[in-house]
Amino acid sequence: MSKLAYLGPQGTFCEAALRLLAPDVERLPCANVGAALDAARDGDADGAVVPLENSVEGAITQTLDELAKGRSLHITGEVLLPVEFSLLVRPGTELGQIKRIITHPAAHTQCRGYIERELPGAVVIAGSSTAAAAQEVSVPGSPYDAAISPAIAGEYYGLDAIASDIGDRSDTVTRFIQVSRPGPLPEPTGADRTSLVAFLRDDHPGALLEMLSEFAVRGVNLTRIESRPTGDGIGRYFFHFDLEGHVADARVGEAVSGLHRLCGDLRFLGSYPRADRVATQVKPGTADGDFDEAAQWLGKIRAGLA
């Protein structure tokens, strides 16, 4: 049986995502995103499942940085997980007794309205994950009265949900990715996503425009772009790109090749099926057959036949 690492402890949204992506594998909980990815890199697990972005909070920056700077890993799949938070307490605790709440900062942000409305005097303390918060509350003598966590965490740690679905938005979704060590790519499906990390060769006017033009002139649509600091000084950034299509598609392959020529470094993070199954829209003149016909035409020109 294969094994996948994930952001633990037991009861996280990440575990719920893993169960959807690979229900029959052995699960290895890890203390943080970096540890989960390192378990995949070092061979302690066959891969890992980690969060990448949230529809309210945006990108998970630790994941972005780890994928860009750590040893290479490829994304092989993704899942979109609806996020619902519960207020978990030890059995017998009443709402009016809650003075100290522990949760992950992102969960706090997404439940701020409920806390201000129902528990205006409560103090919220940051935890490493929503499940770890539930674990903390379950410990006898814990200084925390409640945790904002997924309901599944209450099942693991013997806590009751004194309130459910307390998020400020009911449509919040987190995107989780499954990664593994580099190997054969998933076959194109017609509804794919490709992810890249691009490092500028040098900083000059129009550098970002030059990179974006490689996609635009070939009809490749970007679904996400994020800038992150390189750590080499103020104003130094690298860029994460998600784009529609598979690197096996001619237009995507040519765009990636063009970007490689421009960049100081270009890291390929994978081509994989989109979780939403939205088919890639191909503009006229950018299908694989169009690129083949253009290459044949150019060959004739160079051979003096046209």
| Span 90-143, pLDDT tens digits | 999 999 999 999 998 889 989 999 999 999 999 999 998 899 999 999 999 999
Residue 27 has pLDDT above 70, yes or no: yes
Averaged pLDDT of the chain: 94
Beta-carbon neighbour count of residue 227 at 10 Å? 11
The confidence score (pLDDT) of residue 251 equals 97
Query: Which pLDDT does position 231 carry in this prediction?
Result: 86
Is the pLDDT assigned to residue 306 strictly greater than 80? no
Which homologous superfamily is 184-306 in? ACT domain (3.30.70.260)
Radius of gyration for the chain, computed over Cα atoms and rounded to the nearest angstrom: 23
Q: How far, in Å, CA of 107 to CA of 105, rounded?
A: 5
Closest by CA to 145, choosing from 195, 193, 199, 89, is: 89
Report the pLDDT averaged over residues 71-86. Answer: 96
Give the model's pLDDT for residue 170.
86
108 neighbors 62 (Cβ within 8 angstroms):
no
pTM for this predicted structure: 0.89
| Interacting residues of 125 by C-beta distance below 8 A, sequence separation 6+ | 100, 101, 102, 103, 144
The tens digit of pLDDT for each residue in 291-303 reads: 999 999 999 999 9
Residue 1: the pLDDT is 65
What CATH number has the domain spanning 1-81+172-183? 3.40.190.10
**Residues 108, 67: contact at Cβ < 8 Å?**
no
Do 86-163 and 1-81+172-183 fall under one CATH topology?
Answer: yes
Among the ranges given (152-156, 220-224, 273-277), the one the predictor scored with the smallest mean pLDDT = 152-156
Quote the percentage of the chain above a pLDDT of 90. Answer: 87
For residues 189-212, average pLDDT: 94
Domain boundaries, the chain: 1-81+172-183, 86-163, 184-306
What's the topology of domain 86-163? D-Maltodextrin-Binding Protein; domain 2 (3.40.190)
